[in-house]
Structure 1
Amino acid sequence: MYEKDGVFYADEKHDPVKFPKVTGLKPLDNYKLWVRFSTGETKECDFAALLREPAFRPLQNKSIFDSVYIDYGVPVWNNGEIDIAPEWLYENGKAVSGGN
């Protein structure tokens, strides 16, 4: 638990470099996302394996996958019903240069 500006938070304080937010994204072919993080880094994240998981199965519909948007630094789909942690994208994405 930590306190910031008089507000108490139950989780641990996160280092913004260790836990960056998503600041830009673009759906790509083959169920991949191009992602820009608050650190300025850009990565390509492959969702192929995740689409087998029950929570992500709706994303097998390419139009739903392509409807991704950012909500408070987190990629979301279906009006927020599906999301993915920026930490997972950061740790599992492959570094790419520039703005695809």
Structure 2
Amino acid sequence: MYIKDDICYAGELQDGIKVTEAKPLRGGMMLVTFSTGEKRLFDTTLLEGEAFRPLANDEIFLHPVLFHGVITWNNGEIDIAPEYVYKHSYAYDGMAM
């Protein structure tokens, strides 16, 4: 865990990586674009803990908001560090959609 610009993040500090776009897909999947230009697929259904349970509700999951390069939902009540998303996602080649 680390703090940067008064925001507390889980994971390891990886300077400069941010989420620039987060597109919800079916089944809890997201197509995430990072500040590196990479597009990766991230499965939100694998997130553990009470804090992430609201993402099972499409009314919440389908409306992510980016805040300083971090994916947030539900007026900022739910967030996930871009480093975590990057580390736990896999490369997207654009052919699967």
State TM-score, norm by structure 2. 0.79
Cα distance, 1:60–1:38 mapped onto 2, change above 3 Å:
same
- Alpha-carbon distance in structure 1 between the residues aligned to 2:51 and 2:71: 14
- Alpha-carbon distance in structure 1 between the residues aligned to 2:63 and 2:57: 10
SS of equivalent residue, structure 1 residue 70: strand
What displacement does 1:24 show? 0.8
Alignment match of 2:92 (pick from 86, 93, 96): 96
Instruction: Among all aligned residue pairs of Structure 1 and Structure 2, give the percentage whose two residues are the same amino acid.
Output: 47
Deviation string for 1:15-68 (max 9, x for gaps)? Answer: 32xxx1000110000101110000000100001121x52010111101200011
- Considering Cα pairs closer than 8 Å and 6+ residues apart, tell me whether 1 or 2 has the greater RCO: 2
Aligned to 2:75: 79
Give unmatched runs, 5+ long, in structure 1: 1-12
Is residue 28 of structure 2 the alignment partner of residue 47 of structure 1? no
Give the superposed CA RMSD.
1.9
Kindly name which structure, 1 or 2, has the bigger radius of gyration based on alpha carbons: 1
Is residue 70 of structure 2 the alignment partner of residue 70 of structure 1? no
Give unmatched runs, 5+ long, in structure 2: 1-12
- Give the total of aligned pairs: 84
- Alpha-carbon distance in structure 1 between the residues aligned to 2:56 and 2:74: 13
